[in-house]
Structure 1
Amino acid sequence: MTLTERLRVYTDRFRAEWLGNPRAELLAGLVVALALIPEAIAFSIIAGVDPRVGLYASFSIAVITAIVGGRPGMISAATAATAVLFVTLVRDHGLEYLLAATVLAGLIQIAIGSLKLAFVMKFVSRSVMTGFVNALAILIFMAQIPELVGVPMVTYGLVAAGLAIIYGLPYLTTAVPSPLIAIVLLTGVVWFTGTDVRTIDDIGALPDSLPVFLIPDIPLTFETLQIILPVSLAVAIVGLLESLMTASIVDELTDTTSNKNRECVGQGVANTATGFIGGMGGCAMIGQSIINVKSGGRARLSSFSAGVILLFLILVLGDFVRNIPMAALVAVMIMVSVGTFSWSSVKNLAVHPVSSSAVMVTVVAIVVVTHNLAYGVLAGVLLSGVFFAAKIAQIFRVRSELSADGRSRRYIVEGQMFYASVEDFLAAFDYREALDEVILDVSGAHIWDISSVAAVDMVVLKFRREGARVDLVGMNEASETIVDRLGEHHKPGALDKLTAGH
């Protein structure tokens, strides 16, 4: 390949990954930036810090992950999932410890990505993913309820008008994202009519200066590490969990793939840098990512511009942003909630296996009750593991064939041998049968763990104790390796140990 051809390949790759459709990317970034402002302020309040901490974080994380992250078009910023983890730390030790914990969380994420541990996402089942999405949709909707309770009646009219624009405008034109039009029109109506409704200015003050580099003012002692490490670990793990699941969802929405290990590193770099400019930790946001994708954002430019426009809006156009009615943003977030929820999963409850439906419902219930996505996903993964083990154990069986002279019996083991199938395996043998030879044929089985190795040892040694010769045949290479390494029946004195034990 010539130098010119290489340059053309790199140029095409850059355009596809970074620019996409520049006009659509920039408009999507604007919509996302407007939606980020109230959420960043709200998450700051949740964590117990000044609104600028969340706003600076959203700017920094969005820009940095756009550059070094592994999923183009995904939006990362300050989030509720990480904000709730800082509450106790801020209350007991103050803002500086939050910043230090954010830096350390980022370093942990960089280590996880560098060690290529993102593969653990493979163990998150489809049912868990669906439960995660549905729970998040419900949480997004629930977060809008305070803006709809005890408010002037005109607020409901504004929300209804916003939804009508959001869902109706695409039938006329898709040149401009309908959520952006809804925000601009409703803001104009409220401003020109002087309608007294709740605005962004009522949530908290916007910053009026650029963020500056600073080192958290904390003592560099082992005691400090003990204080921030548990929080940093929680933020790192929860942040990566939500980010990787969001990346998978964006993969599906855009029919593209992403580099999950690079995303881990990107999230870590973003959090580390954010902690040094006075921002709180964050991660990917499924709601904002869906807004971005539905508004036409596919490339890195959309997420990069979202962060830059966010900073521009709060510093230069602060007077306009302060007057955006919350009703307009509520309409946008309701659209996100409705679009995020997997409505087909409700219909599929009667069709899918009970175990899959139970996992999905469990994830939703735990997340909605605890408002913690990590708890729900962890419970779902564990429950999926239990159901999978039970299902695999059910297809395990042992059958036997007696020789013509009645002196030899071949036991044929089929299926997966692991801790859940050990009981059925041990119950399949008659040790009192007078045999000269027992053949244990495992050619149709796979021996997975120490529990199944111990069970094989027990069967072989018990038959030997009864005077029968035992041949273990048909092991595949992996089974033979684990049996040779962990088994006891082929070692000197193994029968004596069994006899002594009984």
Structure 2
Amino acid sequence: MSALSRLRTEWFANVPRDVLAGTVVALALIPEAIAFSIIAGVDPKVGLYASFSMAVIIAFAGGRPGMISAATGAMALVMVTLVKEHGLQYLLAATILTGILQIVAGWVRLGALMRFVSRSVITGFVNALAILIFMAQLPELTGVSWHVYAMVAAGLAIIYLFPRLTTTIPSPLVTIVVLTALSIALGLDVRTVGDMGQLPDSLPVFLWPEVPLNWQTLGIILPYSATLATVGLLESMMTASIVDELTGSASDKNRECVGQGLANIATGFIGGMAGCAMIGQSVINVKSGGRGRLSAFTAGALLLVMVVFLGDWVGRIPMAALVAVMIMVSIGTFNWASIRNLRDHPKSSSVVMLATVAVVVATHDLAKGVLVGVLLSGFFFAHKVGQILRVRSRTEDEGRMRVYTVTGQVFFASAERFVAAFDDNEVIDKVRIDVGRAHFWDITAVSALDKVVVRFRREATEVEIVGLNEASATMIDKFAVHDKDGAEDPLTSH
């Protein structure tokens, strides 16, 4: 595809719906950015400037059209201690360093690591995020008047019923406009966006973090930056995979790593906190018809325009309207089929999914949940492959030789079963081990072969190994000891 064709496809193939979807996202970003700023312990404008910067720059530099990046709760939680102990300026410096680390990750193509994240982990990630999004709305629904419940119910009714009339205008946008107009017209005493914090009244300006440029500063911010970079890339890669599925298109995850890095560097220089892709807002964007880069650009640019120049009007949007939109996102994000699949899918897949959900919900840390899910997936995979190993034997040459035929993968999870399959107490002249249908993967497998061979030879039995493929032979030649002079039993040698 030529550069002009790509530009037309990614930016101008869906202009009306991208603009409308971006408008919905911009409105939904405002209270979240303020809330995440409060979590991190900084002024609301730090989160709002970050959301503007991340969304606009990712529109140009990201690897996934239609995906929204901004200030996020997962990143805000990492910043709490840094802000509390060292202040805002160190947070800005950490944000810049986070971006540098993410660019390096993109250059070394760490985006390819997503192929090690199983379907069960992604499903658990999505379900956990849907639960967290819903839980985040509960404070807005406790200890409030009946007007709030009525507005949320009306908002959900509009969201799900309005598309039956037309899909030209996104129903979440209609919900926000209608409920805001009702709230103002009826003079309802309900919590609004303006009640969450003071909106900025000026455009962001370039600034250099006021921190000393020395090794002590690096020692302070590096641990936080490394964590922020990891959490940000993990959430962004997972979100990209989900949007890939929703839109039936592919993304460039290594480019996304670099794009996230560039966005965070720019964000740190205009007084914003580190951010990453937002699955909730990305789902709102896609569900509202946003597909191209213009939707992310519109969301970021319009966010800044609204909070700076239309702050009085934006501040009057009732939180109930945005709660209704986020509940819709929660319902739409949750993979309801995964509940039915608990009975039909392999137990190991269900355990991975449920463990991912449990850890994320318990810790509110997406990175920890995904890490647990990936580790469990690896454990179950290794166990399953290890069980496939088969060793069969037969006698030849009138019982003087036994032939063992090995089929399957020999590695750390199957090495014990491999050793146990050989009877070194049998009185016999010769043993032939045929590994033509097997593969030796690691030094544990090589050590297992050593044990078998040395024990047979200790009983004065001749051992012949046949059928080694090239990769296995190379590893055995390099690490095995049974064919070295003075070889001892690997269990007793030191």
Which TM class, normalised by the smaller chain length? over 0.9
Cα distance in 1 for residues equivalent to 2:442 and 2:242: 34
Q: SS in structure 2 opposite 1:101?
A: helix
2:72 partner amino acid: T
> CA shift at 1:436, angstroms?
2.0
Match among 174, 180, 195 for residue 173 of structure 2:
180
1:66 match: 59
1:239 match: 232
> CA shift at 1:499, angstroms?
9.9
- 1:329-344 matched pairs, under 5 angstroms: 329-344=322-337
> CA shift at 1:345, angstroms?
0.4
Match among 208, 214, 217 for residue 201 of structure 2:
208
Moved more, 356-365 or 404-413: 404-413
Question: What does the per-residue CA deviation read over 1:214-254, in whole Å, with 9 as the maximum and x for residues that have no partner?
Answer: 11111122221111111111100010000000000000000
Q: SS in structure 2 opposite 1:501?
A: coil
2:40 match: 47
Cα distance in 2 for residues equivalent to 1:493 and 1:182: 81
Question: What does the per-residue CA deviation read over 1:321-377, in whole Å, with 9 as the maximum and x for residues that have no partner?
Answer: 000000000000000000000000011111111111111111111111111111111
1:401 match: 394
Question: What does the per-residue CA deviation read over 1:95-134, in whole Å, with 9 as the maximum and x for residues that have no partner?
Answer: 0111111111111110011001111111111111000000
Is 1:109 aligned to 2:102, yes or no? yes
Cα distance in 2 for residues equivalent to 1:278 and 1:491: 65
Cα distance in 2 for residues equivalent to 1:470 and 1:33: 72
2:261 match: 268
1:425 match: 418
Is 1:481 aligned to 2:474, yes or no? yes
Cα distance in 2 for residues equivalent to 1:259 and 1:57: 23
Report if aligned partners of 2:359, 2:368 keep a CA contact under 8 Å in 1: yes
- 1:277-288 matched pairs, under 5 angstroms: 277-288=270-281
Cα distance in 2 for residues equivalent to 1:216 and 1:121: 33
Question: What does the per-residue CA deviation read over 1:114-157, in whole Å, with 9 as the maximum and x for residues that have no partner?
Answer: 00111111111111100000000000000000000011110111
Cα distance in 2 for residues equivalent to 1:499 and 1:102: 51
> CA shift at 1:494, angstroms?
2.1
> CA shift at 1:473, angstroms?
1.3
1:410 partner amino acid: V
Match among 23, 29, 40 for residue 36 of structure 1:
29
Cα distance in 2 for residues equivalent to 1:144 and 1:367: 17
> CA shift at 1:389, angstroms?
1.1
1:351 partner amino acid: D
1:448 match: 441
Alignment CA distance shift 1:169-1:460 (3 Å): same
Is 1:501 aligned to 2:493, yes or no? yes
Match among 421, 425, 435 for residue 428 of structure 2:
435
TM-score (norm. length: structure 1): 0.96
TM-score (norm. length: structure 2): 0.98
1:93 match: 86
- 1:310-325 matched pairs, under 5 angstroms: 310-325=303-318
Is 1:152 aligned to 2:153, yes or no? no
Cα distance in 1 for residues equivalent to 2:178 and 2:265: 38
Q: How many residues align?
A: 494
Point out where structure 1 has 5 or more consecutive residues left out of the alignment. Answer: 1-5
Match among 252, 262, 265 for residue 245 of structure 2:
252
Q: SS in structure 2 opposite 1:303?
A: helix
Report if aligned partners of 2:450, 2:490 keep a CA contact under 8 Å in 1: no
1:295 match: 288
Moved more, 389-398 or 336-345: 389-398
Alignment CA distance shift 1:491-1:86 (3 Å): same
Cα distance in 1 for residues equivalent to 2:127 and 2:490: 53
Match among 408, 411, 430 for residue 404 of structure 2:
411
Is 1:197 aligned to 2:190, yes or no? yes
2:262 partner amino acid: V
> CA shift at 1:434, angstroms?
2.1
Q: Percent identity?
A: 64
Cα distance in 2 for residues equivalent to 1:417 and 1:384: 19
Alignment CA distance shift 1:498-1:312 (3 Å): closer
Is 1:138 aligned to 2:123, yes or no? no
Cα distance in 2 for residues equivalent to 1:382 and 1:170: 42
Question: What does the per-residue CA deviation read over 1:4-41, in whole Å, with 9 as the maximum and x for residues that have no partner?
Answer: xx9xx432221111122101111011000000000000
1:125 match: 118
